[in-house]
Amino acid sequence: MRRRTFLKTVGGGSLALGVSRAVPATAQQVELKVGYMPHPIHENSIKWMKVWAAERKVTLTLVPISYEVYVEKMTANLTSRGGQYDVIWHNDDWGQLWGRYLEPVDDVPALKKLSRFIMEPYFQWEGHDTAVPFVETIGTFFYRADLLKDTEVPRTWDELIKTSQRLQKDGKVKWGFVGGMKYPHGWFTFFWSIWANGGDLMLPVHERRNAELAKNGWKSGLAQPEAVQAVEFWWDNIHTHKIAPPGQPGYSRDDANAIFMAGDSAMTMADTTLYGKFNDPKQSKVAGKISVTQFIIGPRAKFKSIAWRDPWAWAIPIHVDAAKKKAAKELLSWLNLTHDVQLDLWKATGGFPPNEDVQRELVKTDPVFRKFRAVTVESEKLIHGAFYFARWPEFFATAIDYLVRAVTGPRENIKATLEEGAKHTSEIAART
C-alpha cells in the first residue's frame, strides 16, 4: 500500500468512525436516573413518570433507596457530585442542607400553581426555588369508622383514653392508639401531641424562621409544661391506661401501620398518603372501615385545631448535565400540571395533589377529600412539621432520644430528663 492510499484509508475510516459516533450522540435518548423511596406516593408518581417518559422516548432508570438510609446515601451523592441520580426525592426537613447542591427550578411553570406555604422556607436557596413538590404530606388521625360513630370520635386526650379503654374492654381492639415513636418517627406520637398541647420543639412556639429562633437564643421547647405533659400523657397511655402497646417507644411508623392494618388498634396517626394503603384489602384488614379526624387536642392548647402541612418534592442535583436538567424540569412540571396525574395521586394514595386548581376541583366533587382537607389544612393553626436550621438532623435525633428516654424511664424523672434534653438540644441548635 502506497503512503497516499494508506493515509486516505486511515483518514476516511477515522472520519466515518467519527461521524458514526457523532450521529447517535445527537439523537441519543436522554436517560433520567430517579432516586426514590419505595412508598405508595413515590410509586404513584413514578407510574406517571413512566407515561411521560414513554411518550417522549426518555429512558427512566429507577433507583430505590430505603428511607432509613436515604439522607445518608443522597448526601454522599450530592457532596461527591456523584452521577447516580438526575432526579431525587427531596423533603422539607432536608431543604436547608441540600440547597446549595440543587438546581434552581424557578423556571418550572408548575410552581405557579402551588401554595407558597409548601415552598418556604425550606425549598429556597439564595432566593431561588430548589424543588418541585409532587405531593403534600399532612399528618392526620385515622380511626376505625366501623367502631366509632362520628359523634364518638375523641376530641380531647381524656376522651382518647376513655374511648380506647371502652373499645378494649368490649374486645373490639387490642389497643386504642398506636403510632411510631423512635427516631425518625416521632411525628406520629411525641410531636403531634406536643403541638396539639400548645407546645413546640423550639421557642417561640410555631416559629420556623431561623432569624427569629436565633433572636430568642435558640431556646428548646422540650422542657416546657406542654411538652412535659405530652410525654406524661404517653407514659400513662403505655404504663397506666395501657391503651398503647408497651413496645411503642421502639416502633417505627411501619410497625405502627402494621398494627393498625392488622385491625389491632382503633386509631393511629399517619400521613394522609397512607390512606390508599390502609384501604387496600390486599394489605389491610381495615380496608373500607377507616376515616380521618383532626389532631386530638391537649388540655393546654389555646386553639381548636392544628395540623402540619409540608410537601414531598423532586429535585435536580446541580451537577447534572444541561440536557438532563431540561428534561427533568419538563417532567416535574408535567406531573403537577396534568390534572389526571394529580387526581390519580389523590384517588390511589390519599396524598394531597399540590396543584391548587386540582384541590379546588376536588373540594367541589369529592366528599372524602373535603373531609381530609377540613381536618388538616383548614385547621385553625397550620405549621411546618420540622425546623430548617443547619443542625436540625442532630437536634431532631437528639430530641427524640430524650423523649424516648423520658417515656421509658420512671414517670417522676420525665421533667428532669426533658430539662436535660432541652439544654442539650438548645446547645445543638445554637451551634448553627
Those residues with Cβ within 8 angstroms of residue 66's Cβ, 6 or more apart along the chain or in another chain: 37, 38
Peptide bond into 121 cis (omega under 30): yes
Closer Cβ to other proteins, 324 or 391, answer by number = 391
Regarding 10 and contact with other proteins (CB under 8 A), the answer is no
Regarding 207 and contact with other proteins (CB under 8 A), the answer is no
Regarding 11 and contact with other proteins (CB under 8 A), the answer is no
C-alpha cell at 153: 370520635
The stretch near other proteins (CB under 8 A) out of 5-13, 126-134, 161-169, 388-396 is 388-396
Regarding 37 and contact with other proteins (CB under 8 A), the answer is no
Regarding 430 and contact with other proteins (CB under 8 A), the answer is no
The binder of other proteins chosen from 356, 390, 416, 423 (CB under 8 A): 390
C-alpha distances (whole Å) from 66 to each of 20, 139, 316 are 41, 21, 19
Those residues with Cβ within 8 angstroms of residue 201's Cβ, 6 or more apart along the chain or in another chain: 191, 194, 220, 221, 222, 227, 387, 395, 399, 425
C-alpha cell at 217: 437564643
Q: What is the dihedral of CA 367, 371, 376, 379, to 10 degrees?
A: 110
Closer Cβ to other proteins, 365 or 413, answer by number = 413
The binder of other proteins chosen from 49, 87, 97, 102 (CB under 8 A): 97
Closer Cβ to other proteins, 156 or 432, answer by number = 432
Output the smallest distance, CB 144 to other proteins, in A. Answer: 17
Closer Cβ to other proteins, 45 or 248, answer by number = 248
Regarding 349 and contact with other proteins (CB under 8 A), the answer is no
User: Contact at 8 Å (CB) between 191 and 185?
Assistant: no
User: Contact at 8 Å (CB) between 347 and 118?
Assistant: no
Residue (of 137, 103, 99) closest to 117 by Cα position: 137
Closer Cβ to other proteins, 405 or 411, answer by number = 405
Closer Cβ to other proteins, 267 or 358, answer by number = 267
What's the number of CA atoms in the CB half-sphere (13 Å) around residue 210?
14
User: How many residues lie near other proteins (CB under 8 A)?
Assistant: 33
Regarding 144 and contact with other proteins (CB under 8 A), the answer is no
Strand-pair partners of 141 = 269, 293
Regarding 222 and contact with other proteins (CB under 8 A), the answer is no
The binder of other proteins chosen from 43, 159, 232, 264 (CB under 8 A): 264
Which residue type does 230 have? A
Output the smallest distance, CB 399 to other proteins, in A. Answer: 11
**CA 95, CA 85: separation in Å to the nearest integer?**
17
- Other Cβ atoms less than 10 A from the Cβ of 56: the count is 13
Residue 201 has what DSSP assignment? S
Regarding 382 and contact with other proteins (CB under 8 A), the answer is no
Regarding 239 and contact with other proteins (CB under 8 A), the answer is no
Regarding 173 and contact with other proteins (CB under 8 A), the answer is no
> Binders of other proteins among 54-93, rule CB under 8 A?
68, 71-72, 75-76, 79
Apex 280 CA angle, 275 and 283, nearest 5: 110
Regarding 159 and contact with other proteins (CB under 8 A), the answer is no
The binder of other proteins chosen from 148, 231, 259, 414 (CB under 8 A): 259
The stretch near other proteins (CB under 8 A) out of 161-169, 213-221, 251-259, 312-320 is 251-259
Question: Residue 202 — φ and ψ, nearest 5°?
Answer: -130, 160
Residue (of 320, 293, 319) closest to 306 by Cα position: 293
Question: What is the per-residue binding string for other proteins in 398-417, x denoting contact by CB under 8 A?
Answer: ---xx-xx--x---------
Q: Computed from CA positions of residues 423, 424, 425, 431, in that sequence, does the dihedral angle turn out positive or negative?
A: positive
Q: Which residues in this chain contact other proteins in the complex, by CB under 8 A?
A: 68, 71-72, 75-76, 79, 96-98, 100, 182-183, 245-250, 255, 258-259, 262, 264, 390-391, 393-394, 397, 401-402, 404-405, 408
